[in-house]
Amino acid sequence: MAITAPLVQPASHLWSISPWRISHVRRELADTFTLTLDPPADAADAAAAFLPGQFNMLYVFGCGEVPISISGAAGEGGRLKHTIRAVGAVTRALRQLRAGDVVGVRGPFGAGWPIDDTAGSDVVIVAGGIGLAPLRPAVEAILHARERYGRFIVLYGARSPEDILFARDLGRWSSRLDTYVDVTVDRAAGAWRGNVGLVTALIARVGLEAEHTVAFLCGPEAMMRFAVGALAKRGVEAGRTYLSLERNMKCGVGLCGRCQLAGHFVCRDGPVFRLDRIPNVFQVREL
Amino acid sequence: MAGATRPDDGACVLDTGALEQLIELLRADGYRVVGPQVTDGAIVLNTIAGASDLPAGVTDDQEPGRYRLRQGTPEALFGYAAPPQGWKRFLFAPDETLWRAVRTEGGFRCEEEPLASGRTAMLGVRPCDLRAVDILDQVFTRSGVVDPRYQARRAATLIIAVECTQAGGTCFCASMGSGPDIVADDANSGADIILTEYTTAGAPLLLARPVSGRGGELLASVQCRQATAADCEAAAEAVKSAARSMGRQMPADVATLVGRSLDHPHWEDVAARCLGCGNCTAVCPTCFCSTVEDSTDIAGTTAERRRRWDSCFTRDFSTLHGGPIRSSGAARYRQWLAHKLAHWWEQFGRSGCVGCGRCITWCPVGIDITAEARALTEREGRTDANH
Amino acid sequence: MQIIDAIGRSLQQVPVFADLSADYHQLVAGCGALSVFQSGETIYREGAAADSFYVIRRGRVRLEAHVPGRPPCIVDSLGANDPLGWSWLVPPYRLQFDAKALELTRLIRFDAACLRRKMADDPRFACAIYERLVPVIVGRLAEARRQLMDLYGQPAGRSQAWR
């Protein structure tokens, strides 16, 4: 797994896309799938370098480009995974692609999770829905250097038992004695033996020492708003809370202006922000 | 202000003939000279062949939502305020191809569109617009990732600025610290030559200050006389009178005022008048937001990506899956004004507004950015009084 | 008395009652008994008399509603330290959902009639109990309403979506 400093995008190739080949398509959920991408031969080394939480712009020939978080690395040779939910024209076009097809890639872009800076702390990961995708590399990175962290807690909320993303990974993490994993769903019937309720209920129940804890959040913005409230109730302050935001973006490097949010460009200064650096985001509507 | 020009700054005085010569020299040197000219009842920036294309004896009336040309000081070449379109389009193309891609066996190959070639001389850039160019320079070339397309055009551009000796009906550059004179040191202004039009007894003259080496060479090659102290004084006085006659101003504390007014009820008030047309963003000399458009030819074998100017007033601008984040007109107006006047400081250490007044003139319903900013203060005061 | 002391002590570990005075801990504990349910066992059923109030010490419990012809609809799940049941607070004292243990679950069971009697005798005690249970009720209502928002569902109008 290659996790190193972000690349500096050479200016002369700012807009150039490089063709990556799909080596594998995995259906995750009814509307969600993971593409495993092989870098072009001349870019394999550089391509492997990414920070958990960073994203690539993925291009479908003639159709358009969308920012998609990197949801994992795969083996050697700089292979990357992107987990995508088909919700619009480009993501639906991505879903039509098969192994062997080519996707245009620009990136990786943005600031990732503070994996190194939070070593020594307890870490609580709070994910909702497809928000687990940009957090999966963070979980893997922490597990990779597990001894550098204190308690490690992964809390995940999904719509229903059928909508639980990366169930196999959740099971694998959960089987470790040094990691606490809890999952909840909004609605369930019959055979489901797990939790039902909002992910905030998991935050209220989990044992944590606020002053040693940092939280990483990713999910729908309203879910993060509620989760931030639940964490604050447990004493986890904004200065120890990190979240990944989503905004409309076209360039990925702070030039197109679309993802400007207060004093930041989400593509360049985020998508991962420390909450106290974006204090207005949940207070002011339609910001 | 850089201080009054003194005769020993290398300043010289150009008449129309000398200006003609200057334009000739630039054209001979391969420059496309762009300057103001009267087209369809407005002053439009476009390629000029000579000084005779400039709008001699013409001035403009500008008010919120209104723009008209009329006769001005006879023979004056620069007796009007900011023209409808700024200079942005010559540096940051409104619509350009970024790359083309061709399907190959089992994939595709992407080829970047070559960078713009050819040199441009921009003649008649006002201090507000000169500041706007510097702001765009900062956005595109001094804030991290450099935009190669902007950078290439900017590097091939020569700027002849003209100080303002007449305030426009909607401008407020004095309160933004960006005019009517060249407020930065000449050397840091971004101009190559700075002109000031003034009248001594008789025809208008142009006091010319060389700034860059290239500007100095050009002035040395035209037939002009050295400026005297009287020339410099007359020019300085003309600029001062423009500052004095400027009717509008932006509240000095506008950045913090807007920053703490994001939930202010006044945004709804503006939204009730705002048509959401985006004219303000189209004429703003510093608005830099863009979108990209991907398309293919009809056979699906070649694709291209174009970059176009975009406006935060469109719903599409903030659309994520599901819908726009800023669905209300109030949120979109606030986005524009708050970015320009407040958040720009956090991002770039200065205001994104240069006080040119274009957004006021070209708003079809005459929304006045200075009045809206002031309304935030007034309502704030009233709220405080109630508590 | 030993049992009641033990219950009083374990109540101090339960966040919702942790800050009750020692006297009130004794009052509450006086109505308590320990109870254990095996995985899959029903703790109570909708419609039955709400004669008990529970605090979960270990294990997990789910609340569900019976729907004829369909699998039961799960409305909430509770775990260690969570109070279980509040129908005992309001007439006609009838349970509104089924509660089922999902694993071996240990609870403290309080006799509702006993608590109600003590609350009627001492309005300040009643107030202390309400002050601690109402926030739980309000929190669960807010969560239930947020569950209704279908936060993770596909947004409406997505055919126009940019992505």
Contact predicate C22/C40, CB 8 Å: no
Tell me if chain A has a CB within 8 Å of the CB of C21.
no
Chains in touch with B (≥3 Cβ pairs < 8 A)? A, C
Calculate how close chain A gets to C56, using CA atoms only, in Å.
12
Across the interface, of B99, B303, B347, the residue whose CB is closest to A263 is B347
For residue A3, what pLDDT band results from cuts at 50, 70 and 90? Answer: very low
Residue pair B151/A255 in contact (Cβ under 8 Å)? The answer is: no
pLDDT in tens, B41-58: 999 999 999 999 999 999
Is pTM beyond 0.90? Reply is yes
Distance CA B93, CA B106 (A): 34
* Mean pLDDT value across residues A9-17: 65
Residues C92-120: tens digit of each pLDDT: 999 999 999 999 999 999 999 999 999 99
Cross-chain Cβ contact C74/A220 below 8 Å? no
The reply to whether B321 touches chain C by the CB within 8 Å rule is yes
Nearest to A104 among B110, B288, B326 (CB): B110
Render pLDDT for A170-227 as a digit per residue (tens, 0 to 9).
999 999 999 999 999 999 988 899 999 999 999 998 989 999 999 999 999 999 999 9
Poorest-pLDDT segment among A129-133, B117-121, B200-204: B200-204
Residue C41 reports pLDDT greater than 60: yes
Nearest CA of chain C to the CA of A49: how many Å? 25
Domain boundaries, chain B: 7-244, 254-386
For the cut 90, the answer to whether the pLDDT of residue B326 exceeds it is yes
Chain A residues close to C146, C-beta within 8 Å: 198, 200, 222, 226
Task: Give the pLDDT mean for B217-225.
Answer: 92
| Mean pLDDT of the region C4-13 | 82
Q: What is the ipTM of this complex?
A: 0.91
Q: Do C163 and A157 touch (CB under 8 A)?
A: no
Judged by CB atoms within 8 Å, which residues 143-182 of B form the interface with C? none
The whole-number pLDDT of residue A33 equals: 97
Residue C159 pLDDT > 60, yes or no? no
Among A63-77, A140-154, A206-220, B147-161, the range scoring the smallest mean pLDDT is A63-77
Confidence class for position C162, pLDDT limits 50, 70, 90: very low
* Cα of A56 to nearest chain C Cα, Å: 14
Given A128, A201, A205, which is nearest C152 (Cβ)?
Answer: A128
pLDDT in tens, A249-282: 999 999 999 999 999 999 999 999 999 999 888 8
The per-residue pLDDT for range B352-381, each reduced to its tens digit, is 999 999 999 999 999 999 999 999 987 665
Residue predicted with more confidence, B146 or B8: B146
Which ranges of A51-164 would DSSP assign to H, the alpha helix? 89-96, 132-144
- Domains within chain A, CATH numbers bracketed: 11-109 (2.40.30.10), 122-277 (3.40.50.80)
Average pLDDT, chain A: 91
Interface touch A197/C76, C-beta < 8 Å? yes
* pLDDT (mean) for C140-157: 83
Q: At what angle do helices B127-141 and B148-155 cross, to 10 degrees?
A: 140
Verify whether the Cβ–Cβ distance A189 to C71 is below 8 Å: yes
Mean pLDDT calculated for residue range A121-131: 97
Chain B residues with CB under 8 Å of C151 CB are none
Predicted confidence at residue A16, as pLDDT, reads 84
Q: What is the mean pLDDT of residues A123-144?
A: 97
Kindly determine whether residue C77 and residue A184, on different chains, have CB atoms separated by under 8 Å.
Answer: yes
Whole-number percent of chain B with pLDDT over 90: 81
Whether the pLDDT of residue B273 is over 90: the answer is yes
**For residue B276, pLDDT beyond 70:** yes
Record: contact B319-C155, CB cut-off 8 A:
no
Please state, in angstroms and rounded to a whole number, the distance separating the CA atoms of residues A67 and A63.
Answer: 14
Which of these ranges, A108-112, B31-35, B114-118, C37-41, has the smallest mean pLDDT?
Answer: B114-118
Is A218 annotated as a binding-site member? no
Q: Bigger pLDDT: A46 or B314?
A: B314
Block residue for tokens 């909508």: A163
**What's the rounded mean pLDDT across residues B244-261?**
92
Q: Which residues of C touch A191 (CB under 8 A)?
A: 71
**CA-to-CA dists, residue A66 to A59, A73, B115, B361, C163, angstroms:** 7, 19, 25, 37, 6
pLDDT (mean) for B182-207: 86
- What pLDDT was estimated at residue C153? 82
- CA distances B263 to A285, B335, B342, C16, Å, are 8, 12, 14, 36
Which residues in chain C are closer than 8 Å to B319, comparing Cβ atoms? 161-162
3-state secondary structure of A91: helix
- Using a CB–CB cutoff of 8 Å, tell me whether C153 touches chain B: no
Place of tokens 């937001």: B289
Q: Which residues of B fall within a CB distance of 8 Å from A21? A: 107
CB contact under 8 A, C150 and A129: no
Option in B106, B148, B290 nearest A256 (CB): B290
Q: Find, in chain C, the residue whose alpha carbon is nearest to that of A58.
A: C163
Poorest-confidence range of B25-34, B181-190, B331-340, C69-78? B181-190
Question: In the structure, what pLDDT confidence band is assigned to residue B172 with cuts at 50, 70 and 90?
Answer: very high
Partners of chain C (3+ Cβ pairs below 8 A): A, B
**Gyration radius of chain C's alpha carbons:** 18
Model confidence at C13, in pLDDT bands (50, 70, 90)? confident
Query: B319, C161: Cβ pair inside 8 Å?
Result: yes
Q: Hey, what CATH class is C2-149 in?
A: mainly beta
CB pair distance less than 8 Å for A196 and C74: yes
Residue-by-residue DSSP string for A95-116: HH--TT-EEEEEEEESB---TT
User: Strand C105-111 vs strand C32-37: parallel, antiparallel, or unpaired?
Assistant: antiparallel
